[in-house]
Amino acid sequence: MTGYCRDIIEAGRRLYLRGLVAGREGNISVRLPQGHILITPRGLSKGFLQEGDLVIIDTEGRVVSGDREPSSEWRMHVAAYRYRPDVGAVVHAHPPLATAFSVARGKLPLEGLPEVLLVMGPVASVPYAPPGTEELAQKLLPFWKRHDAFLLCNHGALTLGKDLEEALYRMEVLEQCASIMFYASLLQRICPLEEREKLKGGGDEGCASP
């Protein structure tokens, strides 16, 4: 088994065990050295993949190697690699709370979590298009250059990374942020940091307002 296959199988297991995908949801890909794309197949649980399930496609989505059909979201993956030469891996999942924000059409207010903003940057809110369509790939076009994490309205989330570990890490952190913001919203109080607080790198005033 190649390292790339092993990494995708392990990533699928992590997504499944963390509840970031359910049923047959989600898809994962990596860019191979010769420019082809190794991607998960259509219609299988990501928690129990085997090497023979994975598919290699070219940059037009044509199957180069493998017995199965590639993920129905292959257009989204191909576009990510086309517009972001620095990207080596793409993860798409339906994390429950991040997806809830996408259904609510709300932005994730990461201003309250400066460390996250630093490592992930802003999260794009991508207008709705049906899953698996060219239309969805088109809706992503304006966002590729400036984002590594995306909320797909009424659908789920997408993350990019220089390698699979980074793309997966961003997906996990995205869901963690959505969870924190969800709980903060229950407390009916989300306080973004003031500019002076960001600059100071921590303060001793405590969290409560004066």
Which residues make up the interface to Zn ion (CB under 5 A)? 131, 156
Residue number closest to Zn ion, CB atom: 156
Q: Phi/psi at 198 (nearest 5 deg)?
A: -60, -40
Q: 22 or 180: whose CB is closer to Zn ion?
A: 22
Q: Give the shortest CB-25-to-Zn ion separation in angstroms.
A: 6
Q: Give the shortest CB-158-to-Zn ion separation in angstroms.
A: 9
Q: 88 or 156: whose CB is closer to Zn ion?
A: 156
Q: Give the shortest CB-188-to-Zn ion separation in angstroms.
A: 31
38: which strand partners?
Answer: 30, 56
Q: Which residues lie closer than 8 Å to 123 by C-beta, 6 or more apart?
A: 107, 108, 110, 147, 149, 150, 151, 174
Tokens of 177: 């942020």
Q: 70 or 156: whose CB is closer to Zn ion?
A: 156
Considering the candidates 60, 69, 73, 166, report the single residue annotated as catalytic: 73
Q: Is 115 a catalytic residue?
A: no
Residues 140, 183 contacting (CB under 8 angstroms): no
Identify which of 91, 76, 75 has the alpha carbon closest to the alpha carbon of residue 161. 91
Q: 113 or 124: whose CB is closer to Zn ion?
A: 124
> Coil, helix or strand for 130?
coil
Q: Give the shortest CB-92-to-Zn ion separation in angstroms.
A: 6
Q: Give the shortest CB-93-to-Zn ion separation in angstroms.
A: 8
Q: Which residues lie closer than 8 Å to 82 by C-beta, 6 or more apart?
A: 59
Q: Phi/psi at 200 (nearest 5 deg)?
A: -70, -25
Identify which of 98, 95, 82, 107 has the alpha carbon closest to the alpha carbon of residue 31. 82
Tokens of 4: 């790339």
Q: 106 or 131: whose CB is closer to Zn ion?
A: 131
Q: Phi/psi at 75 (nearest 5 deg)?
A: -60, -40
Instruction: Give the residue numbers annotated as catalytic, written as ranges.
Output: 73
